[in-house]
Structure 1
Amino acid sequence: MQHLINDIDEADFDVTRGGQVEIIGWLYQYYNTEPHDYAVNITGGAVTKNEIPAATQLFTTDWVVRYMVDNSLGKYWLERHLNSDLKSNLDYLLPGEIQIVDSSENLEDMRFIDNAMGSGHILVYAFDVFMKMYAEQGYSSRDAALSIVQNNLYGLEIDKRAYQLAYFALMMKARQYNRRALQPEKVKLNVHVFEDTDTVSPEFLDALSGEYADDIKQIIELFNNARELGSIIKFDKTFNWTKLRENVEDIHTDALDIFGMNQSKKIVLEVLTIAEIMSTKYDVAVTNPPYLNKFDPDMKKYVKKNYADYSGDLFSVFIFNNINLVKIGGYAGYMTPFVWMFIKTYEKLRNYLVANKEISSLIQMEYSAFEEATVPINTFVLKNVPNDGNGTYIKLSAFKGGMNVQRDKVLEAIANPDIDYLYRTNQANFKKIPGSPIAYWASENLIHDFEIGTPLKRIATPRQGLATADNNRFLRQWYEVVNQAICFDAHSISESIISEKKWFPCNKGGSFRKWYGNYDYVVNWQNNGYEIRNFKTPSGKVRSRPQNTEYYFREAVTWSKITSGKFNVRYRIQGSIPETAGNEAFSSDHVALIKIVGLLNTKIVDSIMACLNPTINSQAGDFGNIPILLNDSNRVLNLAKKNIKIAQSDWDTIEQSWNFKVYPLLLHIADDNLSIWYYSVVLTNRGAKNVPIFRLWGVK
């Protein structure tokens, strides 16, 4: 109740402003809070079939809904109706060219679908836009309301409770304009909830006969797991839905119905209706798809088989699926995590979209703006045509404060298209950058650098390091271990030392620090990592991954996998083992490594990395794609050496360094003011490896 009172905007309750739909969605999301937290945060493993609705149900903020529908359905209409006044009612239509399309399509034949409709928010706003279209065409509001819910709007959902709310919301919209809308014989909505067909009786299957029996059985089999797969069920052929329905309706059932024939018949007829909706082409598809990558075995197998190139997450399957669900020239709108724009997992999806479809518009939100999900969000609209112009992009990364702030900044950009966070660019530029990131803000000069520069991976080889599978067991802070068991000497690594010593320096990344430092950890690599290499599950499977071992103990350029948004690198002297959180790149050319450290600590690299991957997870592949313009100047080399030396000296002035000797300030205190502690401890224990105050429990 506290969240209901404090967290929801008062306007969401205001029925004169569409608030009845807002409040239905928010209430349902709060109702799902505990099941959602259990499925996503507590179980930790794959999300089971029954948990998917709770794990993936997120209410779509009103202004995002309006953006998606205005720039898909609204734009689709404006392209076909040059003199329409609808534009004045589309508050979130982004600036951009409206390409005129010659079309004789009847308004009653326009189809709009949300195939993960939740509580129906998108469909309800689409209803309002359709009402304005019908008014322009001279329809009465009574006739328009019935035509919209029966001819124009389609919705699918796996969650029965969400489906019921969507059905209710649409019925209330129709009733708002037509008092007879609630009479069952007057209106039939095209919104449906998926049901499994595993309850269809064997007797019903045996009763199927004739030319279409096998097709019906194939559809029944496809829907065996429909409550989990939902709208991603894939049809490999075209079916004659009318004939299939007639065949099912002709099956005789009797009053006793001891074999459940009536119930089976009802289920199959509903499944055929849903299957026909799924196989129909639409003018517009808009959805907030489920975000899910913790697949159970059945889901994982199905997705890998049918959507292998787009299987990183359910939302990426929907991105691919829905743009192909619409007709040529149609639009698909989405709200999804924005990782698909940058990271390697979704590179095939990006390549497909950039090569075959058009990114009509996109809004990238501030990293933590959408408080309802722990993922950074974007919303965008694709057009089902090859790229033929500039897209419109809005970058809201700099504006913190939640979704209301994001909304206000979008409206500012619409009012003033010359604002500096609105971009117009051709997506063909994305292919010029390795991995085709959707880096719409990249300047012409930067794109040119990618074209002519040498990828850094050709100069230094980026590699991931050791994955122990249990850091609590195999890693220690260096001062937690007795010194005699650690190999501190970078130049003395040998087979005998590896057998003798137990602990070796380990590069685990660490906090933001340039040039040098973060020598914090040691790893148990005794006898060439025997214990780690043989660390197995109870079933006997090796858990650890001691990968790229040929690069262990070599000097390197290193950077932390998790960043604060600012890319920074350090020179790592030889003698360490890289861990997965401490990425490293290697070269046999020492001078080249030092130059790389110098170049990559410049401000320009922040701009480059923001193009390649603006998330907080910096990958080895991103590093390897940084363009380098080579020259023979020693200026970079000399500056880098100087900065590394300064940073090393700075690192050694703190107690975390194993080369720490004395606080610099103590060197300037007169002898007669020095404490007994300084004489008895510091002067007699100049090496930090011998200062006993750090020995907490002395792990061997």
Structure 2
Amino acid sequence: MDKAKVIKFSDTVREKLLHEVKERAAFYGIRPKDLLPVDSEHSDSIVIGGKVFNRKIKDQREHLVREVKLKGYERVMDEVTYTWFNRFVALKFMEVNDYIQVKVFTSDNAERTEPGIITHALELDFLDLDSNQVLDMKAESKDEELYKFLILRLCNYLNRTMPFMFEKIEDYTELLFPENLLHIDSIVKDINEIIPEDDWREVEIIGWIYQDYIAPKKDKVFKDLQKNIKISKENIPAATQLFTPHWIVRYLVENSLGRLWMLNRPGSKLYERMDYYIRPEQSETDFLKVSSPEDIRVCDPACGSGHMLVYAFDLLYAIYEEEGYDHAEIPEMILTRNLYGVEIDERAGELAAFALAMKARRKNRKFFQNPVHPNICVLKSVSFEEGELNAYTSAVGRELFTNDIRATLLQFNEADNFGSLIRPKAEDVSGILKLLKSKNLSENLTLLSTHQKVLQALKQADCLSPKYHVVVANPPYMGGKGMNARLKDFAQDNYPNSKSDFFAMFIERNLYLAMKKGMVAMITMQSWMFLSSFEKLRGSILDERTILSLAHLGPRAFDSIGGEVVSTTAFVIENAQRPEYKGAYIRLVDGNCEAEKDAWLREAVMQVRIVAQQMEAQ
């Protein structure tokens, strides 16, 4: 993959889209410092700034004006820009991989330049189009209008299968749809030409594009930090997003999920596809037992765009396949039973869900006919007014709400700031969650809103419960100097042994997400291995858990980060103490780039395998 072209794509399309979105907003009388009022209203039209508009835009524009007043002009423009960027990227990926029935951006006829969706507009029965409306636009050469109409209908059609990516378009995002997409120098040209088509065939492209899309915001956050402006909760995702190189992902997943399966199925051939799997030198008997692949639960508590989960999907598919499961049923089983992701960034969560859906579609051509939604939980803040919970519990049954359950419901009032670091007081809420889901409060409007908030909090608590066989993550990196005041207080109160950095708190947190004897696989900054501020964290790991393997990567493990800026270590820890166990430790600090460290790691793994085989032969 040509990373330079990915960067160019993200920069070019983002800037052009943002310009177009702002132009459309201005067209409707919405500018940075000037929101034009509606001059007059008529039965079929409204007048704004002397221009006449169809009355049907009135509600959409009013919604847009409210959002601008609430959030600010720049933030709303950024949000709409990203919404369309996301949709266009998703459509391009599906087009290249033949996951949709029509070409959206390119022509399927060498003699025509117009996108296939225009050429075949009258044949798109699945979009349930009004053929007369299409014929009228074609007859009047309204190609731009037709193109917009078709893309909107396609996005709404895809809402049925992927609502997390394609929300129903009936709001102001439709008003701000970019113009002139068929122009010779349009966004469509950039979408088709900047990134080579072959690079669109692997779903990892989604994560790389997202990282580069938010790069300018990340740069601004760190410039502000130099001015002692702390990282706000809104900026945590941009400040901490970092796409993990595939070789590191493989090392982590193969030595956690892969190891778990090999321990339970020592005769499995899975190891033949795991180039980074470190085989134990001696046979083991004391490990977490699983009877079938359906039992395994894997969580990434800071999943970003889903790279860890995407590779875990591949490994799980091979496991199911080896066990003789029906190929058509495997993708749904993986998405519903095995993989869980947690995020505070809604955009990243959408991409993670999309990436997993694309993996499922690649394995099962009929996946979209009966789609399932990936288990990606985007944490949202949930708060209750004084007395609100008392009224609710009185109505549905006070006996259901233990002290721990009530305390848990109140823990998510700053979920968008604290994220997966929240440790629910109630460790198992699955029972009450199932019970409350069965209650129908739709006729009691007073309690309905509270009911929905209670369910949201409990769903989030369930995602953060200690039920996972494997926890794998590249957590956020943020030192205490960057934390906003509320986050810093939370760290001091809840993570005294690891409060100095986000990543260290996640090490501690993830050890409580995993089941007893479960595995935690992470890549983090290396500082927890050495600094005195992490001495108690190290002590708890050495005294209460077992390091199975550790690859000390040092600097330059991420080509996307130049020089010595970030020095890292990747490791796998078992959530149980085994003093006699001798872990595998691999030193890779001298490698000058990803490729060099990758090659050295594979070479070291091979040497460990040779030793293990020799010991087995003795």
TM-score range, shorter chain: 0.5 to 0.7
Aligned to 2:460: 274
Distance 1:171 1:268 in 2: 28
Give the superposition deviation at 1:188.
3.7
Q: Secondary structure at the match of 2:464?
A: helix
Give the superposition deviation at 1:199.
7.0
Aligned to 2:474: 288
Contact 2:441 2:451 in 1 (8 A): no
Contact 1:207 1:251 in 2 (8 A): no
Aligned to 1:126: 312
When residues 414 and 245 of structure 1 are mapped into structure 2, their CA distance, relative to the original with a 3 A threshold, is: closer
Aligned to 1:407: 598
Distance 2:320 2:491 in 1: 40
Aligned to 1:37: 219
Distance 2:582 2:198 in 1: 37
Give the superposition deviation at 1:213.
4.4
Give the superposition deviation at 1:391.
1.1
Distance 1:366 1:233 in 2: 30
1:236 is the counterpart of 2:425: yes
Q: Secondary structure at the match of 1:382?
A: strand
Distance 2:527 2:212 in 1: 26
Q: Secondary structure at the match of 1:309?
A: coil
Give the superposition deviation at 1:52.
0.5
Aligned to 2:136: none
| Alignment-mate amino acid for residue 323 of structure 1 | L
When residues 15 and 91 of structure 1 are mapped into structure 2, their CA distance, relative to the original with a 3 A threshold, is: farther
Counterpart among 121, 125, 149 of residue 335 in structure 2: 149
Distance 2:475 2:505 in 1: 9
For residues 667-678 of structure 1, the aligned pairs below 5 Å read none
Distance 2:375 2:3 in 1: 36
Contact 2:377 2:463 in 1 (8 A): no
Counterpart among 540, 545, 561 of residue 352 in structure 1: 540
Distance 2:390 2:343 in 1: 26
Distance 1:362 1:39 in 2: 32
Aligned to 2:168: none
Aligned to 2:393: 208
Counterpart among 185, 190, 193 of residue 378 in structure 2: 193
Aligned to 1:377: 568
Aligned to 2:504: 316
Cα-to-partner distance string for 1:603-648 (whole Å, 9 max, x where unaligned): xxxxxxxxxxxxxxxxxxxxxxxxxxxxxxxxxxxxxxxxxxxxxx
Higher relative contact order (CA 8 A, sep 6+): 2
% same residue: 34
Give the superposition deviation at 1:111.
0.8
Aligned to 1:87: 271
| Alignment-mate amino acid for residue 89 of structure 1 | R
Distance 1:69 1:281 in 2: 18
Counterpart among 190, 204, 210 of residue 28 in structure 1: 210
Give the superposition deviation at 1:248.
6.3
When residues 194 and 161 of structure 1 are mapped into structure 2, their CA distance, relative to the original with a 3 A threshold, is: same
Cα-to-partner distance string for 1:98-129 (whole Å, 9 max, x where unaligned): 54347452221111111110000100100110
Distance 1:114 1:364 in 2: 21
Give the superposition deviation at 1:211.
1.5
| Alignment-mate amino acid for residue 392 of structure 1 | A
Aligned to 1:398: 590
Q: Which runs of 5+ in 2 are unaligned?
A: 10-194, 611-618
When residues 21 and 5 of structure 1 are mapped into structure 2, their CA distance, relative to the original with a 3 A threshold, is: closer
Aligned to 1:52: 236
Contact 1:80 1:101 in 2 (8 A): no
Distance 1:74 1:17 in 2: 27
Give the superposition deviation at 1:263.
4.8
Give the superposition deviation at 1:265.
3.2
When residues 134 and 405 of structure 1 are mapped into structure 2, their CA distance, relative to the original with a 3 A threshold, is: same
Distance 2:609 2:280 in 1: 12
Contact 2:433 2:459 in 1 (8 A): no
After superposing on structure 2, the runs of 4+ consecutive aligned residues of structure 1 that deviate more than 6 Å are 13-18, 199-202
Give the superposition deviation at 1:245.
4.6
Aligned to 1:254: 443
Q: RMSD of the alignment, in Å? A: 2.9
Distance 1:201 1:20 in 2: 50
Distance 1:389 1:14 in 2: 48
Please state which structure has a larger fraction of its residues in helix. 2
Q: Secondary structure at the match of 1:68?
A: helix
Aligned to 1:299: 487
Contact 2:525 2:567 in 1 (8 A): yes
| Alignment-mate amino acid for residue 191 of structure 1 | I
1:340 is the counterpart of 2:516: no
Aligned to 1:368: 556
1:389 is the counterpart of 2:581: yes
Aligned to 2:284: 100
Contact 1:205 1:217 in 2 (8 A): no
Q: Which runs of 5+ in 1 are unaligned?
A: 420-700
Cα-to-partner distance string for 1:559-616 (whole Å, 9 max, x where unaligned): xxxxxxxxxxxxxxxxxxxxxxxxxxxxxxxxxxxxxxxxxxxxxxxxxxxxxxxxxx
**TM value normalised by structure 1:** 0.55
Give the superposition deviation at 1:251.
6.0
Distance 2:265 2:548 in 1: 19
Give the superposition deviation at 1:51.
0.8
Q: Which moved more, 1:270-279 or 1:212-221?
A: 212-221
Give the superposition deviation at 1:5.
5.0
1:219 is the counterpart of 2:405: no
For residues 581-592 of structure 1, the aligned pairs below 5 Å read none
Contact 1:146 1:178 in 2 (8 A): no
Give the superposition deviation at 1:236.
3.0
Counterpart among 148, 152, 158 of residue 344 in structure 2: 158
1:67 is the counterpart of 2:256: no
Distance 2:306 2:582 in 1: 32
Give the superposition deviation at 1:6.
7.5
Distance 2:206 2:385 in 1: 34
| Alignment-mate amino acid for residue 499 of structure 2 | S
When residues 409 and 205 of structure 1 are mapped into structure 2, their CA distance, relative to the original with a 3 A threshold, is: same
Contact 1:82 1:100 in 2 (8 A): no
**TM value normalised by structure 2:** 0.62
Q: Secondary structure at the match of 1:142?
A: coil
Distance 1:164 1:30 in 2: 16
Q: Secondary structure at the match of 1:222?
A: coil
Give the superposition deviation at 1:15.
9.4
Contact 2:278 2:609 in 1 (8 A): no
When residues 151 and 344 of structure 1 are mapped into structure 2, their CA distance, relative to the original with a 3 A threshold, is: same
Distance 2:580 2:197 in 1: 41
Aligned to 1:527: none
